[in-house]
Amino acid sequence: MAISHTEVDVRVAAGTPRQSSKNWFLLLSLIYLMLLAVSMIGSGFKLATAHHASGLFEFASNPVMGLIIGMVSTALLQSSSTVTSIIVAMVAGGLPITVAIPMIMGANIGTSITNTIVSLGHVANKDEFRRAFHAATVHDFFNVMAVMVFLPLEIFTGLLEKSSSYLVGIFHVDSVVAVEGINPIKAITAPVVNMVSDSLSFLSAEYAGIIKIILGVMLIVASITFMGKVMKTLMVGKAKDILHTSIGKGPVSGIASGAVVTVLVQSSSTTTSLMVPLVGNGILKAKDIYPFTLGANIGTCITAVIAALAVTGSTAGLAMQIALVHLLFNVFAVVLIFGLPILRDVPLKLSSGLANLAAEQKIYGAAYIAGLFFVVPLSVIFLSR
Protein backbone atom coordinates (compact mmCIF):
# COMPACT_ATOMS: atom_id res chain seq x y z
CA MET A 1 0.00 0.00 0.00
CA ALA A 2 1.39 3.43 -0.92
CA ILE A 3 2.29 5.82 1.85
CA SER A 4 1.64 9.51 1.33
CA HIS A 5 4.21 12.22 2.02
CA THR A 6 1.99 13.50 4.83
CA GLU A 7 2.02 10.13 6.60
CA VAL A 8 5.80 9.92 6.27
CA ASP A 9 6.21 13.44 7.70
CA VAL A 10 4.01 12.63 10.69
CA ARG A 11 5.93 9.40 11.40
CA VAL A 12 9.28 11.16 11.15
CA ALA A 13 8.11 14.06 13.33
CA ALA A 14 6.64 11.77 15.97
CA GLY A 15 9.81 9.72 16.16
CA THR A 16 10.22 6.11 17.24
CA PRO A 17 8.73 4.81 20.52
CA ARG A 18 12.29 4.66 21.91
CA GLN A 19 12.91 8.32 21.05
CA SER A 20 9.57 9.25 22.57
CA SER A 21 10.45 7.45 25.80
CA LYS A 22 13.76 9.32 25.97
CA ASN A 23 11.95 12.62 25.48
CA TRP A 24 9.46 11.85 28.26
CA PHE A 25 12.32 10.93 30.59
CA LEU A 26 14.09 14.16 29.63
CA LEU A 27 10.91 16.14 30.30
CA LEU A 28 10.54 14.63 33.77
CA SER A 29 14.20 15.40 34.46
CA LEU A 30 13.70 19.02 33.42
CA ILE A 31 10.63 19.35 35.64
CA TYR A 32 12.72 18.03 38.53
CA LEU A 33 15.42 20.59 37.74
CA MET A 34 12.83 23.37 37.79
CA LEU A 35 11.48 22.22 41.16
CA LEU A 36 15.04 21.97 42.45
CA ALA A 37 15.79 25.47 41.18
CA VAL A 38 12.77 26.93 42.98
CA SER A 39 13.85 25.26 46.22
CA MET A 40 17.39 26.57 45.70
CA ILE A 41 16.25 30.16 45.12
CA GLY A 42 13.89 30.08 48.10
CA SER A 43 16.62 28.76 50.38
CA GLY A 44 19.17 31.24 49.04
CA PHE A 45 16.76 34.14 49.31
CA LYS A 46 16.21 33.41 52.99
CA LEU A 47 19.95 33.31 53.62
CA ALA A 48 20.81 36.40 51.59
CA THR A 49 18.05 38.62 53.01
CA ALA A 50 18.09 37.42 56.60
CA HIS A 51 19.49 40.74 57.83
CA HIS A 52 18.58 43.03 54.94
CA ALA A 53 15.05 41.97 53.96
CA SER A 54 13.33 45.22 54.88
CA GLY A 55 15.72 47.31 52.79
CA LEU A 56 15.50 44.95 49.82
CA PHE A 57 11.70 44.84 49.84
CA GLU A 58 11.53 48.60 50.28
CA PHE A 59 13.12 48.99 46.85
CA ALA A 60 10.12 47.34 45.20
CA SER A 61 7.50 48.24 47.79
CA ASN A 62 6.14 50.92 45.46
CA PRO A 63 3.65 49.07 43.19
CA VAL A 64 4.89 50.97 40.13
CA MET A 65 8.48 49.91 40.85
CA GLY A 66 7.36 46.31 41.29
CA LEU A 67 5.56 46.53 37.93
CA ILE A 68 8.65 47.96 36.23
CA ILE A 69 10.94 45.29 37.71
CA GLY A 70 8.62 42.56 36.39
CA MET A 71 8.45 44.21 32.95
CA VAL A 72 12.16 44.78 32.44
CA SER A 73 13.28 41.40 33.80
CA THR A 74 10.81 39.56 31.54
CA ALA A 75 11.74 41.61 28.49
CA LEU A 76 15.41 40.84 29.11
CA LEU A 77 14.94 37.13 29.88
CA GLN A 78 12.29 36.73 27.14
CA SER A 79 10.21 34.43 29.33
CA SER A 80 7.35 35.26 31.69
CA SER A 81 7.40 31.63 32.85
CA THR A 82 10.97 32.05 34.07
CA VAL A 83 10.28 35.35 35.83
CA THR A 84 7.07 34.18 37.51
CA SER A 85 8.81 31.00 38.69
CA ILE A 86 11.57 33.14 40.21
CA ILE A 87 8.94 35.35 41.87
CA VAL A 88 7.28 32.24 43.34
CA ALA A 89 10.64 31.20 44.79
CA MET A 90 11.23 34.71 46.17
CA VAL A 91 7.84 34.67 47.88
CA ALA A 92 8.80 31.33 49.40
CA GLY A 93 11.94 33.07 50.66
CA GLY A 94 10.03 35.90 52.32
CA LEU A 95 9.09 38.42 49.59
CA PRO A 96 5.69 39.87 50.63
CA ILE A 97 2.72 39.02 48.41
CA THR A 98 1.84 42.71 48.11
CA VAL A 99 5.28 43.39 46.59
CA ALA A 100 5.15 40.35 44.29
CA ILE A 101 1.71 41.03 42.75
CA PRO A 102 2.78 44.11 40.69
CA MET A 103 5.88 42.17 39.59
CA ILE A 104 3.63 39.41 38.26
CA MET A 105 1.59 42.00 36.35
CA GLY A 106 4.76 43.49 34.90
CA ALA A 107 5.85 40.06 33.66
CA ASN A 108 2.66 39.91 31.59
CA ILE A 109 3.60 43.09 29.75
CA GLY A 110 7.27 42.15 29.39
CA THR A 111 6.49 38.87 27.65
CA SER A 112 4.69 40.75 24.85
CA ILE A 113 7.98 41.98 23.40
CA THR A 114 8.79 38.65 21.73
CA ASN A 115 5.94 38.57 19.23
CA THR A 116 6.38 42.31 18.54
CA ILE A 117 10.01 41.67 17.58
CA VAL A 118 8.89 38.72 15.42
CA SER A 119 6.67 41.11 13.43
CA LEU A 120 9.80 43.01 12.35
CA GLY A 121 10.57 40.05 10.10
CA HIS A 122 7.91 41.43 7.72
CA VAL A 123 9.33 44.96 7.68
CA ALA A 124 10.43 44.74 4.01
CA ASN A 125 6.82 44.55 2.79
CA LYS A 126 4.59 47.42 3.93
CA ASP A 127 1.28 45.54 3.84
CA GLU A 128 2.70 42.42 5.48
CA PHE A 129 4.35 44.52 8.17
CA ARG A 130 1.12 46.42 8.85
CA ARG A 131 -0.78 43.16 9.37
CA ALA A 132 2.00 41.49 11.41
CA PHE A 133 2.58 44.52 13.65
CA HIS A 134 -1.18 44.79 14.21
CA ALA A 135 -1.37 41.12 15.23
CA ALA A 136 1.62 41.42 17.57
CA THR A 137 0.70 44.64 19.36
CA VAL A 138 -2.91 43.69 20.06
CA HIS A 139 -1.43 41.40 22.72
CA ASP A 140 0.65 44.29 24.07
CA PHE A 141 -2.29 46.66 24.34
CA PHE A 142 -4.47 44.04 25.99
CA ASN A 143 -1.83 43.35 28.66
CA VAL A 144 -1.23 47.06 29.28
CA MET A 145 -5.00 47.61 29.60
CA ALA A 146 -5.22 44.73 32.06
CA VAL A 147 -2.57 46.33 34.27
CA MET A 148 -4.21 49.77 34.01
CA VAL A 149 -7.47 48.25 35.27
CA PHE A 150 -6.26 45.75 37.86
CA LEU A 151 -3.22 47.44 39.43
CA PRO A 152 -5.26 50.36 40.85
CA LEU A 153 -8.02 47.91 41.76
CA GLU A 154 -5.50 45.76 43.62
CA ILE A 155 -3.99 48.75 45.43
CA PHE A 156 -7.37 49.96 46.70
CA THR A 157 -9.23 46.66 47.24
CA GLY A 158 -6.68 43.82 47.36
CA LEU A 159 -8.89 41.83 44.96
CA LEU A 160 -6.23 39.41 43.71
CA GLU A 161 -4.56 38.95 47.08
CA LYS A 162 -7.87 38.22 48.82
CA SER A 163 -9.21 35.96 46.05
CA SER A 164 -6.02 33.89 45.89
CA SER A 165 -5.87 33.65 49.68
CA TYR A 166 -9.42 32.36 49.71
CA LEU A 167 -8.59 29.65 47.14
CA VAL A 168 -5.48 28.59 49.04
CA GLY A 169 -7.59 28.30 52.19
CA ILE A 170 -10.19 26.15 50.44
CA PHE A 171 -7.64 23.68 49.08
CA HIS A 172 -5.40 23.67 52.18
CA VAL A 173 -2.27 23.97 50.02
CA ASP A 174 0.08 23.61 52.99
CA SER A 175 -0.90 19.96 53.34
CA VAL A 176 -1.98 19.01 49.83
CA VAL A 177 1.41 17.67 48.71
CA ALA A 178 2.16 15.94 51.97
CA VAL A 179 1.39 12.26 52.40
CA GLU A 180 1.31 11.08 56.02
CA GLY A 181 3.75 13.81 57.04
CA ILE A 182 6.16 13.14 54.18
CA ASN A 183 6.46 15.70 51.41
CA PRO A 184 7.59 13.86 48.24
CA ILE A 185 8.81 17.00 46.49
CA LYS A 186 10.88 18.08 49.46
CA ALA A 187 12.20 14.53 49.76
CA ILE A 188 13.65 14.57 46.23
CA THR A 189 14.96 18.16 46.26
CA ALA A 190 16.20 18.62 49.82
CA PRO A 191 19.27 16.32 49.50
CA VAL A 192 20.67 18.34 46.58
CA VAL A 193 19.86 21.69 48.21
CA ASN A 194 21.50 20.53 51.44
CA MET A 195 24.55 19.30 49.54
CA VAL A 196 24.96 22.72 47.91
CA SER A 197 24.49 24.40 51.30
CA ASP A 198 27.19 22.19 52.83
CA SER A 199 29.62 22.93 50.00
CA LEU A 200 29.12 26.68 50.60
CA SER A 201 29.36 26.50 54.38
CA PHE A 202 32.77 28.21 54.37
CA LEU A 203 31.11 31.42 53.10
CA SER A 204 29.02 33.93 55.02
CA ALA A 205 25.24 33.42 54.93
CA GLU A 206 24.76 36.39 52.58
CA TYR A 207 27.29 35.19 49.99
CA ALA A 208 26.13 31.58 50.21
CA GLY A 209 22.56 32.76 49.68
CA ILE A 210 23.50 34.87 46.66
CA ILE A 211 25.34 31.95 45.05
CA LYS A 212 22.34 29.67 45.63
CA ILE A 213 20.03 32.26 44.06
CA ILE A 214 22.30 32.56 41.01
CA LEU A 215 22.49 28.78 40.63
CA GLY A 216 18.71 28.55 40.99
CA VAL A 217 18.05 31.24 38.37
CA MET A 218 20.44 29.54 35.93
CA LEU A 219 18.67 26.22 36.49
CA ILE A 220 15.23 27.77 35.98
CA VAL A 221 16.25 29.48 32.74
CA ALA A 222 17.84 26.30 31.39
CA SER A 223 15.07 23.92 32.49
CA ILE A 224 12.19 26.03 31.17
CA THR A 225 14.00 26.75 27.89
CA PHE A 226 14.67 23.08 27.19
CA MET A 227 11.29 22.03 28.58
CA GLY A 228 9.58 24.07 25.89
CA LYS A 229 11.69 22.44 23.18
CA VAL A 230 11.02 18.92 24.46
CA MET A 231 7.30 19.60 24.80
CA LYS A 232 7.17 20.83 21.21
CA THR A 233 8.87 17.61 20.09
CA LEU A 234 6.48 15.42 22.06
CA MET A 235 3.38 17.32 21.03
CA VAL A 236 4.29 17.80 17.36
CA GLY A 237 1.14 17.91 15.27
CA LYS A 238 -1.21 18.08 18.25
CA ALA A 239 -0.71 21.79 18.85
CA LYS A 240 -1.20 22.52 15.15
CA ASP A 241 -4.36 20.43 15.07
CA ILE A 242 -5.76 22.35 18.03
CA LEU A 243 -4.90 25.64 16.35
CA HIS A 244 -6.50 24.80 13.02
CA THR A 245 -9.68 23.42 14.57
CA SER A 246 -10.15 26.36 16.93
CA ILE A 247 -9.67 29.38 14.66
CA GLY A 248 -13.02 30.54 13.35
CA LYS A 249 -15.08 28.56 15.86
CA GLY A 250 -15.71 31.48 18.18
CA PRO A 251 -13.86 33.35 20.93
CA VAL A 252 -14.41 30.76 23.68
CA SER A 253 -12.88 28.04 21.51
CA GLY A 254 -9.99 30.35 20.59
CA ILE A 255 -9.23 31.24 24.22
CA ALA A 256 -9.43 27.61 25.36
CA SER A 257 -7.21 26.45 22.50
CA GLY A 258 -4.63 29.18 23.16
CA ALA A 259 -4.44 28.04 26.78
CA VAL A 260 -4.07 24.36 25.83
CA VAL A 261 -1.40 24.96 23.18
CA THR A 262 0.58 27.15 25.57
CA VAL A 263 0.47 24.43 28.23
CA LEU A 264 1.70 21.95 25.62
CA VAL A 265 4.64 24.06 24.42
CA GLN A 266 5.30 25.72 27.81
CA SER A 267 5.71 29.19 26.33
CA SER A 268 3.18 31.96 25.72
CA SER A 269 5.83 33.80 23.69
CA THR A 270 6.05 30.82 21.33
CA THR A 271 2.28 30.53 21.02
CA THR A 272 1.69 34.19 20.25
CA SER A 273 4.74 34.50 18.01
CA LEU A 274 3.51 31.63 15.83
CA MET A 275 0.39 33.65 15.06
CA VAL A 276 2.19 36.74 13.78
CA PRO A 277 3.50 35.29 10.46
CA LEU A 278 0.07 33.77 9.75
CA VAL A 279 -1.49 37.22 9.96
CA GLY A 280 1.41 38.93 8.21
CA ASN A 281 1.04 36.60 5.24
CA GLY A 282 -2.69 37.21 5.09
CA ILE A 283 -3.73 33.68 6.10
CA LEU A 284 -5.54 34.94 9.20
CA LYS A 285 -6.66 38.32 10.50
CA ALA A 286 -5.61 39.95 13.77
CA LYS A 287 -9.20 39.65 14.96
CA ASP A 288 -9.05 35.87 14.37
CA ILE A 289 -6.00 35.30 16.58
CA TYR A 290 -6.94 37.82 19.28
CA PRO A 291 -8.79 35.26 21.51
CA PHE A 292 -6.02 32.71 20.93
CA THR A 293 -3.39 35.10 22.36
CA LEU A 294 -5.58 35.73 25.42
CA GLY A 295 -5.72 31.99 26.03
CA ALA A 296 -1.92 31.96 25.88
CA ASN A 297 -1.87 34.38 28.83
CA ILE A 298 -3.87 31.87 30.85
CA GLY A 299 -1.97 28.78 29.71
CA THR A 300 1.42 30.15 30.71
CA CYS A 301 0.32 30.27 34.37
CA ILE A 302 0.78 26.49 34.69
CA THR A 303 4.56 26.93 35.07
CA ALA A 304 4.22 29.07 38.20
CA VAL A 305 1.78 26.56 39.70
CA ILE A 306 4.27 23.72 39.08
CA ALA A 307 7.03 25.85 40.60
CA ALA A 308 4.88 26.50 43.70
CA LEU A 309 4.63 22.74 44.30
CA ALA A 310 8.35 22.73 45.08
CA VAL A 311 7.84 24.96 48.11
CA THR A 312 7.38 23.29 51.47
CA GLY A 313 6.82 24.36 55.04
CA SER A 314 5.19 27.53 56.32
CA THR A 315 5.61 29.44 53.04
CA ALA A 316 4.03 26.76 50.80
CA GLY A 317 0.64 28.46 50.95
CA LEU A 318 2.13 31.85 50.06
CA ALA A 319 4.02 30.40 47.09
CA MET A 320 0.86 28.81 45.74
CA GLN A 321 -1.03 32.02 46.45
CA ILE A 322 1.22 34.13 44.20
CA ALA A 323 0.99 31.45 41.47
CA LEU A 324 -2.81 31.68 41.72
CA VAL A 325 -2.58 35.48 41.59
CA HIS A 326 -0.99 35.10 38.14
CA LEU A 327 -3.81 32.82 37.02
CA LEU A 328 -6.62 34.93 38.50
CA PHE A 329 -5.17 38.13 37.05
CA ASN A 330 -5.23 36.70 33.53
CA VAL A 331 -8.65 35.09 33.88
CA PHE A 332 -10.21 38.24 35.36
CA ALA A 333 -8.63 40.36 32.60
CA VAL A 334 -10.09 38.16 29.87
CA VAL A 335 -13.53 38.11 31.51
CA LEU A 336 -13.61 41.88 32.02
CA ILE A 337 -11.85 43.33 28.97
CA PHE A 338 -12.82 40.74 26.38
CA GLY A 339 -16.16 40.00 28.02
CA LEU A 340 -17.42 43.59 27.90
CA PRO A 341 -18.29 44.70 24.32
CA ILE A 342 -17.35 48.30 25.13
CA LEU A 343 -13.76 47.25 25.99
CA ARG A 344 -13.30 44.22 23.73
CA ASP A 345 -12.21 46.01 20.57
CA VAL A 346 -10.07 48.70 22.22
CA PRO A 347 -6.79 46.71 21.93
CA LEU A 348 -7.62 45.91 18.29
CA LYS A 349 -8.29 49.55 17.41
CA LEU A 350 -5.20 50.85 19.21
CA SER A 351 -2.92 48.25 17.63
CA SER A 352 -4.42 48.90 14.21
CA GLY A 353 -3.73 52.62 14.50
CA LEU A 354 -0.17 52.04 15.64
CA ALA A 355 0.40 49.48 12.87
CA ASN A 356 -0.71 52.00 10.23
CA LEU A 357 1.77 54.55 11.59
CA ALA A 358 4.58 51.99 11.82
CA ALA A 359 3.96 50.77 8.27
CA GLU A 360 4.33 54.30 6.90
CA GLN A 361 7.22 55.32 9.15
CA LYS A 362 9.29 52.42 10.51
CA ILE A 363 10.75 54.69 13.20
CA TYR A 364 7.39 54.55 15.01
CA GLY A 365 7.68 50.78 15.35
CA ALA A 366 11.23 50.97 16.69
CA ALA A 367 10.33 53.81 19.06
CA TYR A 368 7.33 51.86 20.37
CA ILE A 369 9.38 48.74 21.19
CA ALA A 370 12.26 50.65 22.74
CA GLY A 371 9.97 53.06 24.60
CA LEU A 372 7.42 50.67 26.10
CA PHE A 373 9.77 47.88 27.10
CA PHE A 374 13.00 49.68 27.99
CA VAL A 375 13.19 53.51 27.91
CA VAL A 376 10.09 54.27 29.99
CA PRO A 377 10.64 51.48 32.58
CA LEU A 378 14.35 52.25 33.01
CA SER A 379 13.60 55.97 33.24
CA VAL A 380 11.15 55.31 36.06
CA ILE A 381 13.77 53.28 37.91
CA PHE A 382 16.40 56.00 37.39
CA LEU A 383 14.09 58.80 38.56
CA SER A 384 12.93 56.83 41.59
CA ARG A 385 16.52 56.35 42.73
pLDDT tens-place values along the chain, 385 residues long: 444 444 434 344 445 666 667 877 887 787 788 677 767 766 776 676 555 444 444 556 678 888 888 888 787 766 677 788 888 888 887 788 888 999 999 988 888 877 887 787 788 888 888 998 999 899 999 999 999 999 999 999 999 999 999 998 886 555 444 433 445 556 777 788 888 888 888 888 778 888 887 887 787 667 766 765 776 666 555 555 666 666 667 788 889 888 887 877 666 776 777 778 778 878 778 888 899 899 989 988 888 888 887 777 777 888 889 999 999 999 999 999 999 999 999 999 999 999 999 888 888 888 888 888 778 887 777 776 6
Are 87 and 103 in contact, with CB atoms under 8 Å apart?
yes
Contacts 24+ apart (CB under 8 A), 145-150: 145/333, 145/337, 145/343, 145/346, 145/347, 146/105, 146/108, 146/329, 146/330, 146/333, 146/337, 147/67, 147/105, 147/106, 147/108, 147/109, 149/333, 149/336, 149/337, 150/105, 150/329, 150/332, 150/333
Is the whole-model pTM more than 0.75? Answer: no
**Of 117, 161, 171, 122, whose CA–CA distance to 139 is shortest?**
117
What is the structure's pLDDT at 91?
Answer: 86
Burial label for 181, CB within 10 Å (0-12, 13-18, 19+), is exposed
User: What are the extents of the domains in the chain?
Assistant: 16-384
Chain center to CA of 226: 15
Are 242 and 52 in contact, with CB atoms under 8 Å apart?
no
Are 141 and 366 in contact, with CB atoms under 8 Å apart?
no
Cross-strand partners of 182:
179
